[in-house]
Amino acid sequence: MRAEVKRANGKRKPLRLVWLQSGGCGGCTLSLLGAEGPDLLTAFAAANIEVLWHPSLSELSGKGVIDLLQSICDGEETLDILCLEGSVMQGPNGTGRFHMMSGSDRPVRDWIKDLALKAEYVVAVGSCAAYGGITAAGSNEVEACGLAYDGERAGGLLGGDFRSKSGLPVINIAGCPIHPGWLTEALHQIASGRYSEADLDEWERPLAYTMHLVHHGCSRNEFYEFKASAEALCDLGCMMENLGCKGTQARADCNIRPWNGSGSCIDGGYPCINCTAPEFEEPGHAFTRTPKISGIPIGLPTDMPKAWFVALASLSKAATPTRLKKNAVAAQLTVPPADRRKNRT
């Protein structure tokens, strides 16, 4: 049903949203609460979204929440958008009883599934809800998974063929945590009634932010261009060659649209770990180490042939200015750019 044609008394009816939290840290909500220009509540109001329940924003608790969710499942109340934050907890042995809904004798997993079947749109908020994320790392004793994926495999709680009442798959706002704008943009587009599968990439993430690489807008791009590499986390150089940075592979606009107007992982001195991708939590090596074969990093830019990269890297290293070589392994800029015209004779 197109959101913008749902009207009552000549006025557009608000879209009704329910937000559940499952296996995770609540970090996506924490990030959203830090939204600026506009703040989260203003963004909801501008999209004409009515938050029926959110664990951090709503006063309703206990039996009142259970009654609300049950009324939706029974078809007595409508639900336009279901948001899940955190992975689905399926354990032990597929029962879901590791995570029970307080005040009921049902696993949260079962509530999520029933509500998803009633929702016009289903949104996975964060990589845990999308693919399993950090909660599914290691031996995954809790049997954590995403809504429509279990890591890179289609399935999860709802199955790879799931479509909400709008006809769309689960919309995966992947990230750990997400940027507030990634979610609010998607919600505004949903509210306009113009969201379609053409707006999603191959992992059902919004192209609004996965059209970019984290590499775009990186403050260390000059070091990358000349392959002037950092050797320790406190160094200023490019972190791809030695410190595991996946900014040339990761799909997100973190360095174009930083958190709180100024921050990103790389600006904070830590390499990009590609947290918007399924199974980022299991890279097979330390996050701050770059695996190599014969001295060549395994993780090369996603759409560049290896032979071309090796050739260009060799040329770049040969042409690296002394300024970049020295600054790359320094904790602060020590050599300023020079104007060669000053010393002309």
7 domain-assigned: no
- pLDDT band of residue 3 (cuts 50, 70, 90) is very low
pLDDT at 6 over 80: no
341 domain-assigned: no
Whole-number mean pLDDT of the chain?
Answer: 92
Q: Are residues 118 and 252 in the same domain?
A: no
The Cα 40–Cα 27 span in angstroms is 15
The Cα 280–Cα 275 span in angstroms is 6
337 domain-assigned: no
Q: Please identify, among 145, 180, 210, the residue that sits at the C-terminal boundary of a domain.
A: 210
Confidence (pLDDT) at 295: 78
Task: List, for residues 244-255, the tens digit of each pLDDT value.
Answer: 999 999 999 999
Which residues, in sequence order, are bridge partners of residue 124? Answer: 84, 172
The Cα 345–Cα 39 span in angstroms is 58
Q: Are residues 50 and 143 in the same domain?
A: yes
- pLDDT band of residue 320 (cuts 50, 70, 90) is confident
Task: List, for residues 140-167, the tens digit of each pLDDT value.
Answer: 999 999 999 999 999 999 999 999 999 9
What's the CATH number where 236 sits? 4.10.480.10
Q: Are residues 71 and 174 in the same domain?
A: yes
Q: Are residues 167 and 282 in the same domain?
A: no
Residues 6 or more apart whose CB falls under 8 angstroms from that of 82 comprise: 17, 18, 20, 112, 115, 116, 118, 119, 121, 122, 123
pLDDT at 256 over 70: yes
> Count of domains in the chain?
2
Q: Are residues 112 and 241 in the same domain?
A: no
pLDDT at 38 over 60: yes
343 domain-assigned: no
Q: Are residues 70 and 179 in the same domain?
A: yes
Q: Are residues 275 and 322 in the same domain?
A: yes
Task: List, for residues 321-344, the tens digit of each pLDDT value.
Answer: 889 889 999 999 899 888 877 766
Which domain range does residue 132 map to? 13-210
Confidence (pLDDT) at 294: 77
Are the beta carbons of 6 and 13 closer than 8 angstroms?
A: yes
Confidence (pLDDT) at 292: 87
Q: Are residues 185 and 283 in the same domain?
A: no
pTM comes to: 0.90
Q: Please identify, among 210, 245, 277, the residue that sits at the C-terminal boundary of a domain.
A: 210
Residues 6 or more apart whose CB falls under 8 angstroms from that of 241 comprise: 227, 229, 290, 297
Q: Are residues 118 and 24 in the same domain?
A: yes
283 domain-assigned: yes
344 domain-assigned: no
Confidence (pLDDT) at 5: 43
The Cα 152–Cα 326 span in angstroms is 41
pLDDT at 14 over 80: yes
With b for 16 or more beta-carbon neighbours within 10 A and e for fewer, the 72-105 pattern comes to bbeeebbbbbbbbbbbbbbbeeeebbbbbbeeee
- Percent of the residues in the chain that have a pLDDT greater than 70, as a whole number: 95
Q: Calculate ∠ Cα 284-290-296, nearest 5°.
A: 115
The amino acid that residue 324 corresponds to is L
- Mean pLDDT for 170-185 is 97
Q: Please identify, among 164, 189, 210, the residue that sits at the C-terminal boundary of a domain.
A: 210
pLDDT at 7 over 60: no
3 domain-assigned: no
What's the CATH number where 79 sits? 3.40.50.700
What residue has token string 């006025």?
A: 11
Q: Are residues 243 and 195 in the same domain?
A: no
Confidence (pLDDT) at 1: 38
